[in-house]
């Protein structure tokens, strides 16, 4: 595949356009020069023919004829002419006249220009019909004699002038094309310099180098600024994505390696010496616990990978998912009711009776269960977890607040990172993997929503999720007023949610 240069194509195109313009301009100039020259030539012919008519005098004979007085003729020697009277009698002609005599040769029209050839010379001729009066002083007014003159001059000089004009215009135009071509080439190279910079900057991108920093000149170029911004955004996104993938792989390998090492050490400990049946049972139970932990990690990793499916795959769905938030929250609270009872935590729920969101039901249930599980795990005994839903235009805000130990401000920017745990020992105790909030973040991003977590150490943590309310094709009906219900450890769900 042949590589083509936009710069060379532009320069060649501009030069071809200029050359075509020069040729057209030269052609028009030559045509105009030819028209002007021949117009002046025709005026000259007419003037010389008129002067020749003035040389026709009275012959002073009995028939009152006219004659051509040679003493009155002062014309160029290369010109040709012939004069005859109304009877066809030739009154005179030039020495170089070789054409047959007679008026029929040039037709009957007066003041008409013709082209003739005498020998090798080309002439342009004019025919005029004049009137001479013999003895004008007589009472009768004199005798009228009609005279016909054919006068011609060589056109060689005119064509030489036209040719010289063509050479002048042609050479001048060619010179201007060369000069403007060089100038245009320089201007194009200078004007396309930002494009060269962008291409050079982009050529440095690779799987090992994601740095893309377009210069100020590129950003200030109207045509290149959107492309540079798109490339910069894409490179930053790809770099962040690859970094996250590497970090995820490293963290996952570390987590699985730790679990495998624990299982291996437990098995090695059992093999070091003979054990009793109870000791073998205890060792196997530890191995089983660690295997279950590995299973949970792998399951959450698969869940996170599924949630983070490509936007193209999600956009190919022909039907937009719709889920009732109230029903999902009710189910999640019911599922975790036993866990809340074991931790001696009460759950208060304030939610609308019906609210449809644009999100998969399975993902919404996973989002709510992860957030509620975090709140229950980190709540103190006797504390309360408050679940609240609020309407905000076309959005719904879901808030889950606990009264637990809270999170230090320095750890808040990292809580959505995969496998991040600000207190590893507590996570080991509660069975956390560090993937729960990362999954929540991925689910919310997929639904084009937002999630925000604030915390006061020693007072508790608030998680606020904003998701879009589904709008039907008809008019949107505002949701009903919220009704508050309490879900405690001693009671099942309120009847209004069953």
CATH code, domain with 393? 3.30.565.10
Into how many domains does the chain fold? 3
Do residues 350 and 488 share a domain? yes
DSSP run (H or E) holding 399: strand 395-401
* Structure letter (DSSP) for residue 422: S
Give a yes or no: residue 48 inside a domain.
yes
The per-residue pLDDT for 3 is: 66
Low-confidence ranges of the chain (pLDDT < 70): 1-3, 62-64, 98-108, 137, 139-141, 248, 251, 254-255, 258, 308-320, 352-355, 421-433, 470-498
Q: Give burial (CB, 10 Å; 0-12/13-18/19+) of 149.
A: buried
Please state, in angstroms and rounded to a whole number, the distance separating the CA atoms of residues 251 and 256: 9
Do residues 427 and 325 share a domain? yes
Boundary of a domain, candidates 127, 162, 197: 162
Give a yes or no: residue 446 inside a domain.
yes
DSSP run (H or E) holding 411: none
Neighbouring C-beta atoms of residue 273, cutoff 10 Å? 7
Please state, in angstroms and rounded to a whole number, the distance separating the CA atoms of residues 498 and 496: 6
Do residues 294 and 376 share a domain? no
Give me the domain span that covers residue 471. Answer: 319-497
Which segments of 192-310 does DSSP mark as H helices, in order?
A: 193-203, 216-219, 225-271, 277-307
Do residues 378 and 427 share a domain? yes
Give a yes or no: residue 370 inside a domain.
yes
Structure token pair of residue 62? 């009995």
Give a yes or no: residue 59 inside a domain.
yes
Q: Give burial (CB, 10 Å; 0-12/13-18/19+) of 183.
A: exposed
Contacts of 18 (CB under 8 A, 6+ apart): 177, 180, 181, 184
Do residues 369 and 234 share a domain? no
Boundary of a domain, candidates 162, 192, 208: 162
| Residues 418 and 335: beta-carbon distance below 8 Å | no
CATH number at residue 230: 1.10.287
Please state, in angstroms and rounded to a whole number, the distance separating the CA atoms of residues 172 and 204: 46
Contacts of 4 (CB under 8 A, 6+ apart): none
Contacts of 185 (CB under 8 A, 6+ apart): 11
Give a yes or no: residue 344 inside a domain.
yes
Please state, in angstroms and rounded to a whole number, the distance separating the CA atoms of residues 476 and 478: 6
Boundary of a domain, candidates 262, 285, 307: 307
Contacts of 252 (CB under 8 A, 6+ apart): 297, 301, 419
Do residues 435 and 325 share a domain? yes
Do residues 57 and 111 share a domain? yes
Please state, in angstroms and rounded to a whole number, the distance separating the CA atoms of residues 451 and 441: 7
Give a yes or no: residue 196 inside a domain.
no
Strand partners of residue 439: none
* Structure letter (DSSP) for residue 477: P
Helix/strand/coil for 144: strand
| Residues 65 and 133: beta-carbon distance below 8 Å | no
Neighbouring C-beta atoms of residue 28, cutoff 10 Å? 11
Give a yes or no: residue 216 inside a domain.
no
Contacts of 339 (CB under 8 A, 6+ apart): 373, 376
Please state, in angstroms and rounded to a whole number, the distance separating the CA atoms of residues 83 and 80: 11
pTM of the model: 0.48
Please state, in angstroms and rounded to a whole number, the distance separating the CA atoms of residues 260 and 291: 8
The per-residue pLDDT for 488 is: 44
Give a yes or no: residue 314 inside a domain.
no
Please state, in angstroms and rounded to a whole number, the distance separating the CA atoms of residues 428 and 421: 10
Do residues 158 and 238 share a domain? no
Q: Which of 391, 321, 324 is nearest to 355 (CA)?
A: 324
Do residues 473 and 419 share a domain? yes
Residue tagged 């309310």 (tokens): 469
State the sign of the Cα–Cα–Cα–Cα dihedral 411, 439, 376, 493.
positive
Do residues 325 and 472 share a domain? yes
Do residues 255 and 300 share a domain? yes
Structure token pair of residue 177? 């094309």
Do residues 325 and 285 share a domain? no
Q: Which of 289, 297, 286 is nearest to 257 (CA)?
A: 297
Please state, in angstroms and rounded to a whole number, the distance separating the CA atoms of residues 434 and 258: 14
The per-residue pLDDT for 474 is: 34
Please state, in angstroms and rounded to a whole number, the distance separating the CA atoms of residues 350 and 400: 10
Backbone angles phi, psi at 13, to 5 degrees: -65, -45
């Amino acid at each position: 595949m042949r590589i083509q240069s936009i710069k060379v194509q532009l320069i060649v195109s501009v030069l071809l356009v200029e050359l075509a313009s020069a040729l057209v301009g030269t052609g028009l100039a030559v045509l105009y020069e030819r028209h002007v020259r021949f117009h002046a030539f025709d005026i000259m012919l007419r003037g010389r023919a008129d002067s020749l008519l003035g040389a026709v005098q009275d012959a002073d004979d009995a028939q009152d004829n006219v004659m051509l007085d040679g003493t009155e003729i002062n014309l160029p020697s290369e010109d040709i002419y012939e004069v005859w009277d109304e009877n066809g009698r030739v009154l005179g002609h030039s020495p170089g006249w070789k054409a047959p005599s007679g008026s029929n040769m040039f037709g009957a029209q007066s003041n008409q220009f013709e082209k003739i050839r005498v020998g090798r010379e080309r002439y342009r001729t004019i025919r005029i019909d004049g009137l001479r009066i013999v003895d004008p002083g007589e009472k009768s007014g004199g005798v009228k004699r009609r005279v016909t003159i054919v006068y011609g001059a060589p056109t060689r000089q005119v064509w030489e002038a036209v040719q010289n004009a063509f050479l002048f215009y042609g050479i001048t135009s060619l010179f201007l094309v060369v000069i403007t071509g060089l100038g245009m080439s320089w201007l194009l190279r200078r004007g396309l310099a930002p494009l060269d910079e962008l291409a050079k900057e982009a050529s440095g991108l690779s799987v090992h180098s994601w740095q893309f920093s377009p210069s100020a000149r590129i950003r200030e170029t109207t045509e290149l600024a959107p492309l540079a911004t798109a490339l910069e955004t894409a490179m930053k996104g790809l770099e962040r994505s690859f970094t996250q993938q590497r970090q995820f792989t490293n963290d996952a390998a570390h987590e699985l390696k730790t679990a495998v090492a624990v299982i291996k050490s437990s098995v090695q400990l059992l093999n070091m010496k003979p054990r009793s049946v109870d000791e073998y049972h205890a060792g196997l139970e530890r191995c089983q616990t660690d295997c279950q932990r590995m299973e949970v990690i792998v399951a959450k990793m698969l869940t996170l990978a599924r949630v983070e499916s490509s936007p193209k795959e999600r956009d190919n769905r022909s039907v937009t998912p719709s889920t009732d938030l109230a029903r999902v929250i009710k189910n999640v609270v019911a599922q975790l009711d036993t866990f809340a009872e074991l931790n001696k935590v009460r759950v208060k729920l304030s939610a609308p009776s019906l609210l449809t969101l644009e999100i998969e039901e399975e993902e919404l249930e996973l989002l709510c269960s992860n957030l509620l599980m975090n709140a229950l795990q980190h709540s103190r005994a006797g504390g309360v977890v408050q679940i609240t839903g609020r309407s905000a235009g076309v959005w719904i805000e879901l808030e889950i607040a606990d009264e637990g130990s809270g999170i230090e401000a320095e750890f808040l920017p990292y809580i959505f990172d995969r496998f991040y745990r600000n207190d590893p020992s507590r996570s080991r105790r509660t069975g956390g993997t560090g993937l729960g909030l990362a999954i929540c973040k991925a689910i919310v991003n997929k639904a084009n929503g937002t999630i925000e977590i604030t915390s006061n150490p020693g007072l508790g943590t608030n998680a606020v999720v904003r998701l879009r309310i589904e709008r039907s094709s008809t008019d949107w009906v505002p949701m009903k007023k919220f009704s508050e219900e309490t879900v405690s450890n001693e009671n099942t769900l309120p009847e209004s949610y069953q």
